[in-house]
Amino acid sequence: MRINTVVFPVAGLGTRFLPATKVIPKEMLPVVDKPLIQYAVEEALAAGAKKLVFVTGRTKAAIADHFDMAYELETELEKRGKQELLELVENILPDGVECVYVRQRQALGLGHAVLCAAPVVDDDFFGIILPDDLIDHPASPALVQLAEHGARIGGSVISVREVAMEQTASYGVVEVDGFEDRSGRLQGIVEKPDPADAPSNLAVVGRYLLSQRIFELLRSTRPDHRGEIQITDAIAELLRVERVDALRFVGRHYDCGSKLGFLQATVALGRRHAEVGAAFDAWLQAETP
Ligand code: UTP
Protein backbone atom coordinates (compact mmCIF):
# COMPACT_ATOMS: atom_id res chain seq x y z
CA MET A 1 0.00 0.00 0.00
CA ARG A 2 1.47 3.36 -0.99
CA ILE A 3 0.55 6.02 1.54
CA ASN A 4 -0.36 9.10 -0.43
CA THR A 5 -1.05 11.48 2.46
CA VAL A 6 0.77 11.74 5.78
CA VAL A 7 -0.37 14.01 8.60
CA PHE A 8 2.14 15.51 11.03
CA PRO A 9 0.42 16.83 14.15
CA VAL A 10 2.91 19.45 15.36
CA ALA A 11 0.72 21.87 17.28
CA GLY A 12 1.57 20.64 20.80
CA LEU A 13 3.10 23.07 23.27
CA GLY A 14 6.29 21.08 23.93
CA THR A 15 6.32 22.03 27.60
CA ARG A 16 8.82 19.31 28.52
CA PHE A 17 11.46 21.13 26.51
CA LEU A 18 10.96 24.64 27.86
CA PRO A 19 12.67 27.07 27.68
CA ALA A 20 14.10 25.73 24.38
CA THR A 21 10.60 25.52 22.89
CA LYS A 22 9.40 28.97 23.90
CA VAL A 23 9.83 30.27 20.34
CA ILE A 24 11.39 27.30 18.52
CA PRO A 25 9.12 24.39 17.66
CA LYS A 26 10.13 21.15 19.36
CA GLU A 27 10.09 19.55 15.89
CA MET A 28 12.89 21.86 14.76
CA LEU A 29 15.31 20.66 17.44
CA PRO A 30 18.12 18.88 15.59
CA VAL A 31 19.34 15.38 16.30
CA VAL A 32 22.95 15.89 15.19
CA ASP A 33 22.32 18.02 12.07
CA LYS A 34 18.74 17.37 11.00
CA PRO A 35 15.59 18.65 12.68
CA LEU A 36 13.18 16.03 14.01
CA ILE A 37 10.56 17.05 11.46
CA GLN A 38 12.93 16.23 8.61
CA TYR A 39 13.49 12.68 9.84
CA ALA A 40 9.70 12.34 9.94
CA VAL A 41 9.23 13.73 6.44
CA GLU A 42 11.93 11.44 5.03
CA GLU A 43 10.05 8.49 6.53
CA ALA A 44 6.80 9.64 4.93
CA LEU A 45 8.50 10.03 1.54
CA ALA A 46 9.95 6.52 1.86
CA ALA A 47 6.37 5.26 2.28
CA GLY A 48 5.42 6.98 -0.99
CA ALA A 49 3.77 10.14 0.37
CA LYS A 50 3.00 12.91 -2.09
CA LYS A 51 0.95 15.11 0.24
CA LEU A 52 2.33 16.22 3.60
CA VAL A 53 -0.17 17.80 5.96
CA PHE A 54 1.29 19.74 8.89
CA VAL A 55 -1.12 20.59 11.68
CA THR A 56 0.59 23.58 13.22
CA GLY A 57 0.01 26.15 15.94
CA ARG A 58 1.58 29.38 17.13
CA THR A 59 5.41 29.47 17.18
CA LYS A 60 5.58 26.80 14.45
CA ALA A 61 6.35 29.04 11.45
CA ALA A 62 9.92 27.71 11.23
CA ILE A 63 8.56 24.34 10.09
CA ALA A 64 6.97 25.86 6.98
CA ASP A 65 10.15 27.87 6.33
CA HIS A 66 12.26 24.72 6.57
CA PHE A 67 10.37 23.07 3.71
CA ASP A 68 10.17 26.23 1.62
CA MET A 69 12.79 27.56 -0.80
CA ALA A 70 15.50 29.73 0.78
CA TYR A 71 16.47 32.06 -2.11
CA GLU A 72 19.05 34.12 -0.25
CA LEU A 73 20.84 31.15 1.23
CA GLU A 74 20.75 29.20 -2.03
CA THR A 75 22.06 32.16 -4.08
CA GLU A 76 24.82 32.75 -1.55
CA LEU A 77 25.88 29.07 -1.53
CA GLU A 78 25.91 29.07 -5.32
CA LYS A 79 28.04 32.25 -5.43
CA ARG A 80 30.53 30.69 -3.05
CA GLY A 81 30.69 27.45 -5.06
CA LYS A 82 29.37 25.33 -2.18
CA GLN A 83 27.69 22.83 -4.48
CA GLU A 84 27.34 20.03 -1.95
CA LEU A 85 25.66 22.25 0.63
CA LEU A 86 23.44 23.76 -2.04
CA GLU A 87 22.20 20.32 -3.03
CA LEU A 88 21.65 19.46 0.62
CA VAL A 89 19.41 22.49 1.07
CA GLU A 90 17.62 22.11 -2.28
CA ASN A 91 16.87 18.44 -1.80
CA ILE A 92 15.14 18.72 1.56
CA LEU A 93 11.90 18.16 -0.34
CA PRO A 94 11.76 16.43 -3.74
CA ASP A 95 9.73 17.85 -6.63
CA GLY A 96 6.12 16.75 -6.89
CA VAL A 97 5.49 16.71 -3.14
CA GLU A 98 2.80 19.04 -1.85
CA CYS A 99 2.90 20.60 1.64
CA VAL A 100 -0.35 21.68 3.24
CA TYR A 101 -0.47 23.66 6.48
CA VAL A 102 -3.53 23.52 8.68
CA ARG A 103 -3.84 25.45 11.89
CA GLN A 104 -4.99 23.97 15.21
CA ARG A 105 -6.00 27.16 17.01
CA GLN A 106 -5.98 25.60 20.46
CA ALA A 107 -4.00 22.58 21.64
CA LEU A 108 -7.06 20.45 22.38
CA GLY A 109 -5.32 17.09 22.04
CA LEU A 110 -3.85 14.80 19.41
CA GLY A 111 -7.27 13.58 18.25
CA HIS A 112 -8.40 17.15 17.75
CA ALA A 113 -5.20 17.94 15.82
CA VAL A 114 -5.80 15.01 13.48
CA LEU A 115 -9.41 16.10 12.97
CA CYS A 116 -8.14 19.53 11.87
CA ALA A 117 -6.54 17.74 8.88
CA ALA A 118 -9.85 16.16 7.76
CA PRO A 119 -10.71 18.75 5.06
CA VAL A 120 -7.45 18.06 3.19
CA VAL A 121 -7.25 14.26 3.49
CA ASP A 122 -9.10 12.56 0.62
CA ASP A 123 -7.57 9.08 0.73
CA ASP A 124 -9.26 5.92 2.05
CA PHE A 125 -6.19 5.33 4.25
CA PHE A 126 -3.63 7.88 5.40
CA GLY A 127 -0.56 7.94 7.61
CA ILE A 128 0.18 9.87 10.79
CA ILE A 129 3.69 10.48 12.11
CA LEU A 130 4.46 12.14 15.44
CA PRO A 131 7.89 13.62 14.73
CA ASP A 132 9.04 13.52 18.34
CA ASP A 133 8.80 9.73 18.23
CA LEU A 134 11.98 9.11 16.29
CA ILE A 135 12.26 5.53 15.02
CA ASP A 136 15.69 4.51 13.87
CA HIS A 137 15.31 1.77 11.30
CA PRO A 138 18.09 -0.55 10.28
CA ALA A 139 16.15 -2.05 7.39
CA SER A 140 12.93 -0.28 6.56
CA PRO A 141 11.28 2.85 8.02
CA ALA A 142 8.46 2.24 10.47
CA LEU A 143 5.74 3.80 8.28
CA VAL A 144 6.82 1.58 5.39
CA GLN A 145 6.40 -1.44 7.68
CA LEU A 146 2.89 -0.22 8.57
CA ALA A 147 2.06 0.29 4.89
CA GLU A 148 3.19 -3.25 4.02
CA HIS A 149 1.11 -4.71 6.81
CA GLY A 150 -1.87 -2.53 5.89
CA ALA A 151 -1.71 -3.84 2.33
CA ARG A 152 -1.77 -7.42 3.62
CA ILE A 153 -4.85 -6.98 5.82
CA GLY A 154 -6.64 -4.18 3.94
CA GLY A 155 -7.15 -2.33 7.22
CA SER A 156 -5.75 0.16 9.72
CA VAL A 157 -2.48 -0.44 11.58
CA ILE A 158 -0.92 1.21 14.62
CA SER A 159 2.65 0.76 15.78
CA VAL A 160 3.43 -0.57 19.24
CA ARG A 161 6.48 -1.40 21.33
CA GLU A 162 7.01 -3.10 24.66
CA VAL A 163 7.58 -0.80 27.63
CA ALA A 164 8.22 -1.51 31.30
CA MET A 165 4.89 -2.16 33.04
CA GLU A 166 5.40 0.84 35.35
CA GLN A 167 5.52 3.13 32.28
CA THR A 168 2.04 2.35 30.95
CA ALA A 169 0.61 5.56 32.43
CA SER A 170 2.64 7.54 29.87
CA TYR A 171 1.22 5.84 26.76
CA GLY A 172 -1.80 4.54 24.94
CA VAL A 173 -1.79 0.80 25.69
CA VAL A 174 -3.28 -1.96 23.53
CA GLU A 175 -5.00 -5.25 24.08
CA VAL A 176 -4.23 -7.87 21.46
CA ASP A 177 -5.28 -11.53 21.46
CA GLY A 178 -1.81 -12.71 20.56
CA PHE A 179 0.91 -11.90 18.13
CA GLU A 180 1.79 -13.74 14.98
CA ASP A 181 4.79 -12.53 13.05
CA ARG A 182 4.92 -9.25 15.04
CA SER A 183 1.25 -8.33 14.53
CA GLY A 184 -2.12 -8.99 16.07
CA ARG A 185 -5.69 -7.81 15.75
CA LEU A 186 -6.55 -5.07 18.20
CA GLN A 187 -9.20 -5.95 20.82
CA GLY A 188 -8.97 -2.79 22.86
CA ILE A 189 -6.94 0.35 23.49
CA VAL A 190 -6.81 2.68 26.49
CA GLU A 191 -5.08 5.97 27.11
CA LYS A 192 -2.47 6.19 29.89
CA PRO A 193 -3.73 3.35 32.15
CA ASP A 194 -2.30 2.76 35.62
CA PRO A 195 -0.04 -0.30 35.52
CA ALA A 196 -2.60 -2.19 37.63
CA ASP A 197 -5.32 -1.62 34.99
CA ALA A 198 -3.18 -1.85 31.85
CA PRO A 199 -4.28 -4.61 29.45
CA SER A 200 -0.63 -5.22 28.42
CA ASN A 201 2.76 -3.54 28.31
CA LEU A 202 2.41 -2.79 24.58
CA ALA A 203 2.47 0.95 24.10
CA VAL A 204 1.42 2.92 21.04
CA VAL A 205 4.22 5.00 19.54
CA GLY A 206 3.72 7.72 16.98
CA ARG A 207 2.94 5.92 13.72
CA TYR A 208 -0.55 5.20 12.47
CA LEU A 209 -2.12 4.04 9.24
CA LEU A 210 -5.78 4.88 9.60
CA SER A 211 -8.91 4.61 7.57
CA GLN A 212 -10.83 7.76 6.60
CA ARG A 213 -13.57 6.59 9.01
CA ILE A 214 -11.50 7.87 11.91
CA PHE A 215 -12.57 11.44 11.12
CA GLU A 216 -16.25 10.65 11.54
CA LEU A 217 -15.45 8.95 14.86
CA LEU A 218 -13.27 11.82 16.04
CA ARG A 219 -16.15 14.23 15.43
CA SER A 220 -18.20 12.39 18.04
CA THR A 221 -15.33 11.72 20.49
CA ARG A 222 -15.81 13.57 23.77
CA PRO A 223 -12.93 15.40 25.45
CA ASP A 224 -11.26 13.53 28.33
CA HIS A 225 -10.96 14.77 31.92
CA ARG A 226 -8.20 17.17 30.81
CA GLY A 227 -10.39 18.62 28.06
CA GLU A 228 -8.39 16.89 25.28
CA ILE A 229 -9.77 14.82 22.43
CA GLN A 230 -7.70 11.65 22.28
CA ILE A 231 -7.04 9.69 19.10
CA THR A 232 -6.99 6.58 21.32
CA ASP A 233 -10.72 6.94 22.07
CA ALA A 234 -11.58 7.21 18.38
CA ILE A 235 -9.42 4.15 17.58
CA ALA A 236 -11.28 2.24 20.31
CA GLU A 237 -14.46 2.96 18.34
CA LEU A 238 -12.86 2.23 14.96
CA LEU A 239 -11.89 -1.31 15.96
CA ARG A 240 -15.56 -2.08 16.67
CA VAL A 241 -16.46 -1.45 13.04
CA GLU A 242 -13.29 -2.15 11.06
CA ARG A 243 -10.16 -4.23 11.34
CA VAL A 244 -7.29 -2.52 13.17
CA ASP A 245 -4.00 -4.33 13.78
CA ALA A 246 -1.15 -3.55 16.15
CA LEU A 247 2.30 -4.01 14.64
CA ARG A 248 5.50 -4.40 16.63
CA PHE A 249 7.78 -2.58 14.24
CA VAL A 250 11.44 -3.42 13.75
CA GLY A 251 13.63 -0.49 14.82
CA ARG A 252 14.72 1.52 17.80
CA HIS A 253 12.33 4.09 19.23
CA TYR A 254 13.49 7.30 20.90
CA ASP A 255 11.00 9.53 22.66
CA CYS A 256 12.50 12.82 21.57
CA GLY A 257 9.70 14.72 23.28
CA SER A 258 11.55 13.91 26.52
CA LYS A 259 15.03 15.13 27.41
CA LEU A 260 16.32 11.63 28.11
CA GLY A 261 15.05 10.19 24.82
CA PHE A 262 16.43 13.15 22.91
CA LEU A 263 19.88 12.69 24.45
CA GLN A 264 19.80 8.95 23.70
CA ALA A 265 18.90 9.61 20.06
CA THR A 266 21.66 12.21 19.77
CA VAL A 267 24.28 9.79 21.07
CA ALA A 268 23.07 6.81 19.01
CA LEU A 269 22.80 8.72 15.73
CA GLY A 270 25.88 10.82 16.49
CA ARG A 271 28.04 7.70 16.81
CA ARG A 272 26.96 6.57 13.35
CA HIS A 273 27.20 9.95 11.66
CA ALA A 274 29.23 9.84 8.43
CA GLU A 275 31.22 12.97 9.17
CA VAL A 276 31.75 13.01 12.94
CA GLY A 277 30.68 9.53 14.08
CA ALA A 278 34.13 7.96 14.47
CA ALA A 279 35.60 10.96 16.30
CA PHE A 280 32.52 11.25 18.53
CA ASP A 281 32.65 7.57 19.38
CA ALA A 282 36.35 7.76 20.26
CA TRP A 283 35.68 10.81 22.43
CA LEU A 284 32.77 9.06 24.20
CA GLN A 285 34.88 6.02 24.97
CA ALA A 286 37.74 8.13 26.29
CA GLU A 287 35.46 10.37 28.38
CA THR A 288 33.06 7.84 29.86
CA PRO A 289 34.38 5.44 32.46
P1 UTP B 1 2.74 15.46 23.32
O2 UTP B 1 1.98 14.60 24.24
O3 UTP B 1 4.20 15.19 23.14
O4 UTP B 1 2.50 16.96 23.78
O5 UTP B 1 2.01 15.42 21.92
P6 UTP B 1 3.33 18.24 23.44
O7 UTP B 1 2.48 19.41 23.76
O8 UTP B 1 3.88 18.21 22.04
O9 UTP B 1 4.60 18.20 24.43
P10 UTP B 1 4.68 18.33 26.04
O11 UTP B 1 4.06 17.07 26.57
O12 UTP B 1 3.95 19.58 26.44
O13 UTP B 1 6.14 18.41 26.30
C14 UTP B 1 2.15 14.33 21.04
C15 UTP B 1 2.04 14.83 19.61
O16 UTP B 1 0.75 15.39 19.38
C17 UTP B 1 0.85 16.71 18.91
C18 UTP B 1 2.23 17.19 19.39
O19 UTP B 1 2.70 18.25 18.56
C20 UTP B 1 3.05 15.92 19.27
O21 UTP B 1 3.49 15.69 17.93
N22 UTP B 1 -0.26 17.51 19.49
C23 UTP B 1 -0.62 17.33 20.79
C24 UTP B 1 -0.94 18.40 18.69
O25 UTP B 1 -0.61 18.60 17.50
N26 UTP B 1 -1.98 19.11 19.25
C27 UTP B 1 -2.36 18.95 20.53
O28 UTP B 1 -3.32 19.60 20.96
C29 UTP B 1 -1.65 18.04 21.32
pLDDT for residue 288 = 79
Residue nearest (by alpha carbon) to ligand 1 atom 4: 12
Residue nearest (by alpha carbon) to ligand 1 atom 9: 14
Residue 11, ligand 1, Cβ within 6 A: yes
Positions in the chain whose pLDDT score sits under 50: none
pLDDT for 201-232, tens place per residue?
999 999 999 999 999 999 999 999 889 999 99
pLDDT for residue 2 = 78
Q: How many CB atoms lie within 10 A of CB 122?
A: 10
Taking the centre of ligand 1 as the mean of its atom positions, its distance from the CA of residue 91, in whole angstroms, is 28
Task: Write phi, then psi, for 81 (nearest 5 degrees).
Answer: 70, 25
Residue 104, ligand 1, Cβ within 6 A: yes
pLDDT for 128-143, tens place per residue?
999 999 999 878 999 9
Roughly how many angstroms between the first and final C-alpha of the chain, as a whole number? Answer: 48
pLDDT for residue 180 = 81
Residue 53, ligand 1, Cβ within 6 A: no
Residue 109, ligand 1, Cβ within 6 A: yes
What domains can be seen in the chain, in order of their start residue?
5-287 (3.90.550.10)
